Amino acid sequence: MTPVGRPVRVTSISFANGPQLAEITSVVRTEAARGTDLVVLPETWLGLGEGTAESVDGPAVTALSALAREFGTWIVCPIDRLAGDRRFNSAVVLDRNGQVAGIYDKLYPYWAELDLEPPVTIGDAPLVIDTDFGRIGVTICFDVNFPEIWQQMADQGVELVLWPSAYSGGHALQAYAILHHYAIVSATQSGDCQVYDITGNLLLDETASGIAVSRITLDLDRGIYHHNFNLARRDQLLQDHGDVIEQEAFFPRHHWFVLRATAPGVSARDLAQDYGLEELREYKRRSRHQIDDLRRTRNKASLSSVARN
């Protein structure tokens, strides 16, 4: 059966450090068997410190890799990672074949992590991965305080950000979803999960004691657009294809609207692009670059004028 839009089923498993590998593996097995596309675990869920570090070939990644392969499920497995004599606070992303698709090393370790022996090594760049359901980005906990990471992911076209963390994050996650128009899913040691969509709408906010399992299906084909330069094209699109696409939401105070497919096999974002609609994130990116270019040209002209005088 052909799905409507581009759905991805995400499962966030949140809990404080304490459960053993076998217990969490059992929960992941149950969720993977339900047919989820993606499982996300909290930051360093087996602990961070003395006696917790392991390599990518260690027991946690090995066990989850087997489940990813058995059930065809993407899994984000954060670990206290050893690589040679260096320690990293990492999120290992496993693909549907159980292979390591990428490793994100935390760009902004918390201060206490730098006091460990060996200390956590500072990462170099955000992680962006193309999956069969869309482009994802991964960032960890304290990274939430540094906007440049979130901007870089937006600039690389990320559609879904996964945020394993030790704490809840709160409104900062909503701010990034509003600013950058990607979905965000958290998995925390606080035992809670928050999910925001491309408009910053809070879709899910669940908290539970023990091991909390949160499930949601996101449509990554939904597109968000500014009124500027798009209204006539939108109206023509809806006139021609109103049977398979709709304006799902309208934000008059923001001058935004959201389009989504309503029929199987149709991409709202592809159709909108065919009609010349520019997505909001691209509109802002292009505007920023063009205005910066004009600013540089103006400044260069001013310097030339000063030199002549």
Is residue 282 in a domain? yes
Coil, helix or strand for 220? coil
Is residue 174 in a domain? yes
Given a contact cutoff of 8 angstroms between Cβ atoms, the answer to whether 169 and 163 are in contact is yes
- The answer to whether residues 12 and 52 belong to one domain is yes
What is the pLDDT at residue 309? Answer: 58
- At which of 149, 184, 219 does a domain end? 219
| Token pair 């509003």: residue | 178
Report the distance separating Cα 92 and Cα 196, nearest Å: 23
Is residue 2 in a domain? no
Give the total number of structural domains in the chain: 2
Domain that holds residue 308: 222-309
- The answer to whether residues 303 and 283 belong to one domain is yes
**pLDDT of 254-279, one tens digit each?**
999 999 999 999 999 999 999 999 99
What is the pLDDT at residue 253? Answer: 96
What is the pLDDT at residue 271? Answer: 98
pLDDT band at 50 (very low <50, low <70, confident <90, very high): confident
What is the pLDDT at residue 275? Answer: 98
- The answer to whether residues 157 and 291 belong to one domain is no
What is the pLDDT at residue 305? Answer: 63
- At which of 219, 254, 279 does a domain end? 219
- The answer to whether residues 303 and 183 belong to one domain is no
**pLDDT of 103-112, one tens digit each?**
999 999 999 9
- At which of 168, 188, 219 does a domain end? 219
Q: Which of 18, 92, 14, 107 is nearest to 59 (CA)?
A: 92
- The answer to whether residues 46 and 163 belong to one domain is yes
- The answer to whether residues 234 and 195 belong to one domain is no
- The answer to whether residues 229 and 208 belong to one domain is no
232-236 LR contacts (CB < 8 Å, sep 24+)? 233/272, 233/275, 233/276, 233/277, 234/259, 234/272, 234/275, 234/277, 236/275
What is the pLDDT at residue 304? Answer: 65
- The answer to whether residues 192 and 235 belong to one domain is no
| Token pair 């606070």: residue | 89
**pLDDT of 269-308, one tens digit each?**
999 999 999 999 999 999 999 999 999 988 777 656 656 6
Is residue 151 in a domain? yes
- The answer to whether residues 180 and 192 belong to one domain is yes
